[in-house]
């Protein structure tokens, strides 16, 4: 089952705006079936489901805080139709917390050996290749030619997550054929960029860093060409996503390689980067399509006033409610209250936001404004301790020079790449509550816990 988890997580299409977000897409139900089957087949594994008292206590505190603040914010707002509603938000918060525990315990039950960790990673790589061939590359073609529009529109209608209230994104059939930007199965191109950056690209970068083959479970420089091909293909897709986030992902991934490759390959990559940079400069100056694309989404990007205003509004909301937050789904009223007036004189604000509410334009701002320090603080502390543990395990594996442990060193490296991408890109917006992010996060957490036990038991 481990090899199917990321593939299932890609199908994030929501099947109803009135249904709580967590319950509106397919993956959570499939994961529930998986965990039930696992417990049915291996009832002895129920012993692995334990509850840490500190985690249980903080979960209870956060839930109570959220429910109370949702009630206060609902009474405060003069536009309840701009919120998710008191019942919808409450149910969604409770079910999302439930999904966190569900996916964590599913990963704990499934990932109980090196073989299972390998199956998960191999399944993730295979999923990326299939996603690339069946969805992403046809969408790239659709951005410049209508030859594959039929296939792209079919995939879009069946599996593409949609923005409710933004029918203008799909007038030609799908997001890609309408806006000529690659979005995968996500509701926006930038959301796809974050998905690739957090879930797939870190595993590829770590494999390149160690000349490692996930399918042979050993160092094998001969397979590097395949990982390079996957990385370049992801860069190609990100370029045609035509989003600042995608271009930033390309830059971050390139910097990671320059910092982490060995000296010889770092020099080769640097020289290649200079060559590619010169080539891009020539293309930028001579090809109008590339010139327009880079100007619109990087060098002369416009239309950022709502993102800036929304981020400022969220941070000011947090400063007014630093401990408790205002409740998940209730930031819109406070955004309108605190947004700088200088950022609201644009078409999107006047036509969309004032009619449907002010969406979260920065995930970090949304987390802080919604959950406050009660919600965000414990998570940051938890991740900090896991990072410290991961560094210690990495150093211990390095000292042992045991070939059987190299996989874990590669995965720890990938964990930090994924965490870096998530932390930086959360300055912008994406669908962070999708199950796939919980799956990849808890994959790394369970891996760190497993390696810690394994190394301890060997003494």
The stretch 446-450 carries a mean pLDDT of 95
Q: Is 342 domain-assigned? A: no
pLDDT at 58 (0 to 100)? 93
pLDDT at 232 (0 to 100)? 94
pLDDT at 374 (0 to 100)? 95
Q: Is 311 domain-assigned? A: no
pLDDT at 101 (0 to 100)? 94
Q: Is 378 domain-assigned? A: yes
What are the φ/ψ torsions at residue 123 (nearest 5 degrees)? -65, -35
Number of Cβ atoms within 10 Å of the Cβ of 305:
17
Question: What pTM was estimated for this model as a whole?
Answer: 0.93
Please give the Cα distance from 318 to 325 (Å, whole number). Answer: 6
Please report, rounded to a whole number, the percentage of residues in the chain having pLDDT higher than 70: 96
Please say if the pLDDT value at position 335 is more than 70.
yes
Per the rule left: phi > 0, alpha: psi between -120 and 50, beta: everything else, 360 is: beta
Q: How many domains does the chain have?
A: 1
- Per the model's pLDDT, the better-predicted residue between 286 and 182 turns out to be 182
CB 205 within 8 A of CB 253: yes
The stretch 154-165 carries a mean pLDDT of 86
pLDDT at 18 (0 to 100)? 66
pLDDT at 308 (0 to 100)? 86
Tell me the residue range of the domain where 182 lies: 2-261+361-457
Q: Is 451 domain-assigned? A: yes
Q: Is 291 domain-assigned? A: no
Q: Is 401 domain-assigned? A: yes
CA 168 centroid distance within chain: 25
Q: Is 453 domain-assigned? A: yes
Q: Is 146 domain-assigned? A: yes
CB 238 within 8 A of CB 193: yes
Query: What would the pLDDT profile of 26-53 be if each residue is shown by its tens digit?
Result: 999 999 999 999 888 888 888 778 888 8
The stretch 169-182 carries a mean pLDDT of 89
Residue 2 DSSP symbol: G
For the chain, the straight-line distance linking the first and the last C-alpha, in angstroms and rounded, comes to 32
- The least confident of 117-131, 151-165, 406-420, 441-455 is 151-165
Mean pLDDT taken over the chain: 89
CB 45 within 8 A of CB 38: yes
What are the φ/ψ torsions at residue 50 (nearest 5 degrees)? -120, 155
pLDDT at 244 (0 to 100)? 87
Please say if the pLDDT value at position 301 is more than 70.
no
Please report, rounded to a whole number, the percentage of residues in the chain having pLDDT higher than 90: 58
Tell me the Cα Rg of the chain.
23
């Amino acid at each position: 089952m481990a090899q199917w988890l990321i593939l299932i997580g890609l199908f994030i299409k929501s099947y109803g705006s009135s249904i709580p977000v967590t319950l509106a897409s397919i993956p959570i139900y499939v994961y529930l079936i998986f965990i039930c089957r696992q417990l049915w087949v291996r009832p002895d594994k129920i012993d692995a489901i334990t509850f840490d008292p500190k985690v249980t206590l903080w979960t209870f505190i956060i839930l109570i805080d959220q429910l109370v603040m949702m009630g206060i914010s609902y009474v405060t707002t003069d536009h309840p139709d701009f919120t998710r509603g008191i019942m919808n938000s409450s149910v969604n918060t409770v079910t999302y917390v439930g999904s966190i525990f569900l996916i964590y315990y599913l990963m704990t039950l499934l990932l109980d050996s090196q073989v299972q960790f390998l199956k998960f990673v191999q399944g993730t790589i295979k999923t990326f290749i299939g996603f690339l061939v069946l969805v992403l590359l046809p969408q790239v073609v659709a951005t410049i030619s209508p030859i594959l529009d039929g296939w792209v529109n079919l995939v879009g209608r069946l599996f593409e997550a949609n923005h409710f209230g933004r029918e203008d994104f799909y007038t030609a059939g799908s997001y890609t054929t309408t806006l000529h930007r690659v979005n995968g199965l996500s509701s926006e191109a930038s959301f796809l960029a974050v998905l690739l950056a957090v879930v797939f690209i870190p595993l590829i970068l770590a494999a390149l860093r160690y000349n490692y083959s996930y399918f042979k479970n050993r160092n094998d420089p001969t397979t590097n060409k395949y990982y390079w091909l996957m990385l370049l293909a992801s860069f190609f897709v990100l370029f045609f996503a035509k989003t600042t986030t995608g271009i930033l992902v390309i830059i971050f991934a390139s910097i990671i390689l320059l910092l982490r490759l060995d000296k010889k390959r770092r020099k080769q990559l640097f020289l290649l980067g200079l060559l590619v940079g010169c080539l891009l400069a020539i293309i930028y100056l001579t090809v109008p399509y590339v010139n327009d694309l880079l100007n619109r989404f990087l060098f002369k990007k416009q239309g950022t006033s709502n993102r800036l205003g929304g981020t400022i509004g969220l941070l000011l909301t947090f400063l007014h409610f630093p401990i408790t937050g205002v409740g998940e789904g209730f930031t819109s009223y406070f955004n309108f209250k605190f947004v700088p007036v200088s950022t609201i004189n644009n078409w999107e604000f006047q036509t969309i936001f004032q009619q449907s509410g002010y969406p979260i334009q920065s995930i970090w701002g949304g987390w802080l404004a919604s959950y406050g320090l009660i919600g965000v603080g414990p998570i940051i502390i938890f991740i900090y301790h896991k990072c410290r543990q991961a560094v210690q395990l990495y150093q211990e594996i390095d000292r042992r020079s045991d070939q059987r442990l190299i996989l874990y060193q590669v995965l720890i490296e990938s964990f930090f790449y994924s965490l870096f991408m998530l932390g930086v890109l959360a300055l912008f917006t994406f669908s962070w509550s999708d199950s796939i992010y919980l799956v990849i996060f808890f994959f790394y957490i369970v891996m760190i816990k497993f390696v810690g036990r394994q190394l301890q038991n060997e003494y």
